Amino acid sequence: MSRVNNYIGLLVGLIVLTLAITIRSYDPTILATLRGAGFDTLQSIWPRNPIPPQPVRIIDIDEASLKSIGQWPWPRNELATLVTNLTALGASAIAFDIIFAEPDRMSPSALARNPEFAKSFSAEALASLADNDKLLAEAIAQGPVVNAFASTTGTQTNLPPSKAGFAQTGQDATNAPPHLAKIVSNIEILDSSAKGLGSINIDLAGDQGIARQVPLLWSDGKTLYPSLILESLRIAQQAESYVVNGSDSSENVIESIRVGDIEIPTSESGLLQVNYRANDPALYVSAEKLLRQSDLEALRPLIEGHIVLIGTSAVGLLDTRISALGESIPGVSVHAQALEQILSGAFLSRPEWLVGSEFVVTLVLGLLIATLANYLRPAATIFTTGLALAALAGVTAIAFRNFGLLVDITFPAAALLLTFLSTTAFKLLVTDRHGRHLRRSFAHYVAPSVLAEIERNPQDLKLGGEIRDVTVMFVDIKNFTPLSERLAPQELVTIINGVLDACSKAILIEGGTIDKYIGDAVMAFWNAPVAIPEHQYHALLASLKIAQHLEAYNAQPSVKSALQAIASWPISVRIGMATGPACIGNMGSEHRFNYTVLGDAVNTAARAESAGKTIGYDCILAGDVEGQSHKLAIVSVGAVPMKGKAQDTPVHVILGDEDHATSPAFLSFKSSYVDLLQQRGTPESKTVWQQNRVALQAAFPNYAMFIESSLT
């Protein structure tokens, strides 16, 4: 491409790159979806290593538990027993992934509020009935229990009481976490007994239904509230408060959260990117075992010193999530896996400097690819683009595996591909436009059918050919030597070009291939490279159209005046044609060759054109008349000797088209001419034969010269 086109191509790439970066700055849903899918792919390839195992366990209200204890919800005295047993087995923290928003309907004391039931018992008896909520509250008070609350869009309730203190470093980050306005919490007796309260919400709205992140903090604009995960860690460490590390330069930016001896890096809004491992049955202990198994001490190794989460995997209770690994897991498992990764220190992070670096890398590599795409061959650009994408993939993998950094490869890859495609498309557009220009220029020298065949099968551009039956035509301007002597060179070129153009148009209309221009002559052939049925018929029609086009050309005032000035008007041509087998293909040297035809049919057509001088007619077909050619006005003049031929060659003259062939005048002429032709050489007197010929010439003056030449 020219230098200007290179600059334009580079500008196109820069525009596409700028547009891509601008769109990324707005971060539409489709980009967030692709980015999340990219992070999921990294986790699927390299999930978190579960070794060494962490002290986290799930007490699972599973199908076996529902079958043994009964359908959910269970009477809360059963849950009180569960909490008591877990406390006795030494759990460091017991966290409910369940909310008890209403009093237990199955509590015996609840029955006392039924008037019909109360009639059957004394006041003392009713007062002595057990209260399941009270039993659960007492069990909660005796153990390291964390109760749950949840942010909701439902009816607003009182915000949960604060069980821990918060300290902040850096600038104020109170409004950084997700907003907490409406919650669903437990009945007051249960929450007041718990050591901790934490939110069980999992952020799904921004992750297309996949549990990739969990909020560790919530805020009502004035106060911070912990998640169930943070409260479990606090209670397990017997800590009293949290330290929220904000940014030194910006408000409402959280860099990390410290709870006890553990510091947790988070996103700016306090979200934790969950680093998943494959869901493992060993993480779960059936609740039925803790409630019905007689030997509880056998479960101590699974519980003692562990953070225990109470939740459900039962399908009917509909608490399932999709993990970043694509697994369907219980919601409580998301909290458990988050706790495991915090305790193991296997954090995933995506700091702001990394996002900025992705923009810079995308811009630099995009400019490089846009530049190379305009100056290198497509293969080299494809290689370079592939190399850049491979480098991005390598950096992404190393950053994830070695440093826990979530590098977004999807946006840079998409931006680079778009830049490559746009610049390459522009280059191809310019090349195609240049190619069309060359094609238009080349089409002046090669027949469209030949050019199309070359475009379809470029591998056929080699020396050699094939044998095919063709019809060959030679067209030569009559009296060219006197014409060239009387006209100035520039005028001669103009006249010759006009004649050759008229002949060429007629040939191409009938599907002929122009082989070459030989001075004032044209060579053409039919039935190659594209097969043409009845190719002789089309060649004969082309010869008739040449006469029509020349008549129109001669009628042009400028042509008429120029030729009349030298007594050469009207200008005319002789046409010789022959049909037969010939070799069609590329002839010449390895470095320069022409698509042409060789064979006896070529020589015969050339001789037929010369024979027109002696026959006295300008349109000659040497050889047999084939197929639909018989429909035309054709007359045989017998066998004619031709130079280089051992035997005389049958020759025909083409006098007109199909309408002419059926006219009474032509039919009468043809009958009389054939009869006269048969008399030639008979013993009849020369005088009688001469009289008949003169009479025929007088009857058909249009053919007088032809009759005179052909019969003498």
Q: What does the pLDDT read at residue 244?
A: 96
CB-CB contact of 199 with 180 (8 Å): yes
CB-CB contact of 138 with 80 (8 Å): yes
| Residue 252 falls in which region: left (phi positive, over 0), alpha (psi -120 to 50) or beta | left
- Please write the tens of the pLDDT for every residue from 16-59: 888 988 998 888 888 888 898 999 999 999 999 999 999 999 99
- Please write the tens of the pLDDT for every residue from 423-475: 887 777 765 565 565 555 555 545 566 566 656 665 555 556 788 999 999 99
Residue 678 has pLDDT above 80, yes or no: no
To 10 degrees, the CA torsion angle through 404, 405, 411, 412? -110
Distance CA 597, CA 527 (A): 11
Residue 654 is inside which H or E element, if any? strand 649-656
CB neighbour burial string for 70-100, b if at least 16 within 10 angstroms, e if fewer: eeebbbbbbbbbbbbbbbebebbbbbbbbbb
Task: State the pLDDT confidence band at 157, using cuts at 50, 70 and 90.
Answer: low
Report the range of poorest mean pLDDT among 290-299, 636-645, 671-680.
671-680
Q: What does the pLDDT read at residue 48?
A: 94
Q: What does the pLDDT read at residue 445?
A: 47
Tokens of 61: 């209200």
Q: Which residue type, as a one-letter code, is found at position 159?
A: L
Report the range of poorest mean pLDDT among 4-13, 195-204, 314-323, 648-657.
4-13
Closest by CA to 201, choosing from 189, 188, 215, is 215
594 compared with 671, residue with greater pLDDT = 671
Share of the chain above pLDDT 90, in %: 54
Tokens of 650: 């049958």
Q: Compute the mean pLDDT over every residue in the chain, rounded to the nearest whole number.
A: 86
CB-CB contact of 541 with 479 (8 Å): no
Tokens of 72: 């959910």
- Please write the tens of the pLDDT for every residue from 365-417: 888 888 887 777 777 888 888 999 999 999 999 999 999 999 999 999 999 99
